């Protein structure tokens, strides 16, 4: 089992326990464990096989949870979860996907109205039953109906980051087979979209049968749905469906281009082919019945008068015109990032100490970081008031004197309060090297109030950047109501940077917003928002988002050497 699979089981258990009204301490323990395990760098399944005593050393995992991890790895399930499923059905847990509908409200709907599925919920709202329920009302009922529509729209799409782990594992297994040549994931995963609906893997192999047998027997596969001579469709245990296609070497590039998409991009490519008397499909580029290209993607694009276009840009958003004009950007690479400017420690809700985070960042080749624990408004994360923050900064100063080869900025993730003020006074913020201003609460306020809050933060001389600006959680929480153009204009005027938060559930700014910020000359910072040392590895997902936005190294501020980066901060304060 993958670490994500184990984490999902603990998250599922926590959801059902909370709906059933269980002890909050137990629930919190399962949630924290899930978060830690999902980011843990070593395979938990391997630890169970080789040295299960190491499980207890994982932060937040005591003997009880370690025993449960062993059971999960050995049986692919957890008896406690199977038991509570009888009391709290899957359909009730599904209601938690609706923005703003938490466990307490889900429990009330289940217990009072016998709502046990999303369909039941929709019918109860439309019948007026939900509005009459104590603690709900017309406004909440309307919000639930809107949330149901959002859930229907997102469907069963999985986070790209989680799907990538599964796809990578299957690609690696296929690569080890004798006679297998090229193997690559295609589709929306290759384009690095935030979520994916299914997976496509293309391979060349001397024996398609062996490749498909290997896929069918893979531990991530739950069921073979269909199988032919060169194509197989399976359902993974996560619920995602995956297509494996074994193609000839001479068609591999054409198949990669075709199955990578997007549909809109490919329509334009095929139209260019038609204008040149050519036909493009997954088998190659043809003039009449004669194949003239298809072994590589470069051949396919060259046949229609274009250079190769990076997969992340293939959305028909002007990339074809830029390619034709020779103006495709040199997209940013993970290796370009020199600093990570958003992370948490045990001072608030992180699982690693200051020293551990600094050492882990240094080991990953970073040249500078900012430690940015929460301000006091985030009480559930043990947020810092002025006194505790200043003491925390003293601890950072000590670590700075002990670890060489990396620069550590004293930072803070400071909440923008519901009334538009900041969670800490200016005399405290002025002492910080780096201030991230964020929205965590009051996310349903009307646009004028959200704009006021963000503008107040942007105008504050000590705020360096707006973090996860839209406050969205992909598939779970919509972005705040904000006037994006107004915020962009202010950020450009006051020299405030904007973040691409690399946490794969956020990826905020999104790709379109990040491109718009770039066009305004606003520096972007890609940061992990890591809550553990392994969380630092999530930087790649922020880079993928930046690449989808067409950002180059020059557009991202934390590709700069530390001296130049500090000058940007000073320049903002001077303005």
Nearest to 328 by CA among 300, 306, 303: 306
Nearest to 234 by CA among 281, 200, 190: 200
pLDDT digits (tens, 9 = 90+) for 505-536: 999 999 999 999 999 999 999 999 999 999 99
pLDDT digits (tens, 9 = 90+) for 365-391: 999 999 999 999 998 889 999 999 999
Residue 60 or residue 6, greater confidence: 6
**What pLDDT band is residue 153 in, cutting at 50, 70 and 90?**
low
340 Cβ neighbours under 8 A, 6+ residues apart: 361, 366, 369, 370, 527, 528, 530, 536, 539, 558
pLDDT value of position 155: 58
Instruction: Give mean pLDDT, residues 315-328.
Output: 96
158 Cβ neighbours under 8 A, 6+ residues apart: 195, 196, 197, 238, 239, 240
Lowest mean pLDDT among 36-50, 156-170, 284-298: 36-50
Under CATH, domain 334-574 is a member of which superfamily?
Answer: Metal-dependent hydrolases (3.20.20.140)
Within the chain, which residue ranges are assigned CATH 3.20.20.140? Answer: 334-574
pLDDT value of position 145: 87
Provide the 8-state DSSP code for 459: H
Contact 108, 42 (CB under 8 A): no
pLDDT value of position 167: 97
Q: What's the mean per-residue pLDDT of the chain?
A: 93
Within the chain, which residue ranges are assigned CATH 3.30.460.10? Answer: 158-246
pLDDT value of position 363: 97
Rounded-to-integer distance, Cα 221 and Cα 361, Å: 35
**What pLDDT band is residue 156 in, cutting at 50, 70 and 90?**
low
pLDDT value of position 62: 86
CATH level 3 topology of 3-154: DNA polymerase; domain 1 (1.10.150)
The edge-to-edge listing of strands for the beta sheet with 290-293 is 279-281, 284-287, 290-293
Instruction: Give mean pLDDT, residues 229-258.
Output: 94
pLDDT value of position 327: 96
**What pLDDT band is residue 39 in, cutting at 50, 70 and 90?**
confident
pLDDT value of position 182: 96
Tell me: pLDDT of 154 over 60.
Answer: no
> 158-246 is classed in which CATH architecture?
2-Layer Sandwich (3.30)
CATH level 3 topology of 252-324: Beta Polymerase; domain 3 (3.30.210)
Tell me: pLDDT of 99 over 80.
Answer: no
pLDDT value of position 21: 85
């Amino acid at each position: 089992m993958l670490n994500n699979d184990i984490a999902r089981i603990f998250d599922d258990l926590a959801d059902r326990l909370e709906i059933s009204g269980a002890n909050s301490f137990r629930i919190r323990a399962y949630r924290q464990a899930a978060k830690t395990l999902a980011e843990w760098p070593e395979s938990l399944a391997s630890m169970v096989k080789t040295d299960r005593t190491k499980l207890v050393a994982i932060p937040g995992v005591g003997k009880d949870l370690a025993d449960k991890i062993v059971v999960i790895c050995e049986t692919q399930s957890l008896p406690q979860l199977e038991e509570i499923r009888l009391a709290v059905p899957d359909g009730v847990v599904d209601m938690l996907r609706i923005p703003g509908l938490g466990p307490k409200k889900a429990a009330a709907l289940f217990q009072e109205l016998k709502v046990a599925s999303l369909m039941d919920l929709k019918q109860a709202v439309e019948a007026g039953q939900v509005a009459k329920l104590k603690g709900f009302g017309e406004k909440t009922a309307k919000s639930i109906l809107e949330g149901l529509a959002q859930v229907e729209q997102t469907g069963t799409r999985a986070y790209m980051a989680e799907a990538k782990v599964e796809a990578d594992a299957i690609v690696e297994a296929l690569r080890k087979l004798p006679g297998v040549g090229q193997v690559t994931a295609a589709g929306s995963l290759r384009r690095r979209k935030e979520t994916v609906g299914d997976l496509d893997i293309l391979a060349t192999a001397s024996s398609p049968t062996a490749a498909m047998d290997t896929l069918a027997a893979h531990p991530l596969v739950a069921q073979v749905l269909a199988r032919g001579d060169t194509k197989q469709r399976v359902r993974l245990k996560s619920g995602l469906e995956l297509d494996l296609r074994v193609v000839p070497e001479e068609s591999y590039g054409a198949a990669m281009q075709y199955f990578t998409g997007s549909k809109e991009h490919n329509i334009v490519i095929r139209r260019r082919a038609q204008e040149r008397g050519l036909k493009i499909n997954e088998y190659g580029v043809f003039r009449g019945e004669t194949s003239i290209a298809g072994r590589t993607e470069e051949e396919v694009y060259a046949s229609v008068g274009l250079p190769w276009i990076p997969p992340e840009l293939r959305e028909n958003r002007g990339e074809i015109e830029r390619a034709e004009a020779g103006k495709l950007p040199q997209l940013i690479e993970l290796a370009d990032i020199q600093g990570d400017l958003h992370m948490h420690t045990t001072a608030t809700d992180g699982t690693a100490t200051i020293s551990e985070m600094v050492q882990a960042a240094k080991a990953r080749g970073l040249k500078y970081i900012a430690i940015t624990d929460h301000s006091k408004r985030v009480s559930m994360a043990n947020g810092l008031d002025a006194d505790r923050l200043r003491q925390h900064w003293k601890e950072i100063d000590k670590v700075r004197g002990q670890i060489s080869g990396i620069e550590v900025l004293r930072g803070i993730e400071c909440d923008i309060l519901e009334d538009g003020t900041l969670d800490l006074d200016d005399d405290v913020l002025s002492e910080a090297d780096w201030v991230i201003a964020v929205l965590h609460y009051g996310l349903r306020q009307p646009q004028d109030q959200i704009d006021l809050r963000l503008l107040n933060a942007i105008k504050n001389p000590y705020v360096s950047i707006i973090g996860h600006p839209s406050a969205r959680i992909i598939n779970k929480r919509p972005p705040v109501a904000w006037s994006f153009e107004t915020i962009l204009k202010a950020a450009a005027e006051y020299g405030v940077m904007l973040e691409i938060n690399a946490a794969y559930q956020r990826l905020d700014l999104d790709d379109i917003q990040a491109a718009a910020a770039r066009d305004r000359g606003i520096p972007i910072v890609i940061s992990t928002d890591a809550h553990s040392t392994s969380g630092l590895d999530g930087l790649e997902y922020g880079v993928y988002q930046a690449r989808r936005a067409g950002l180059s190294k020059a557009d991202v501020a934390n590709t700069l050497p530390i001296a130049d980066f500090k000058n940007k901060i000073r320049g903002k304060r001077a303005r």
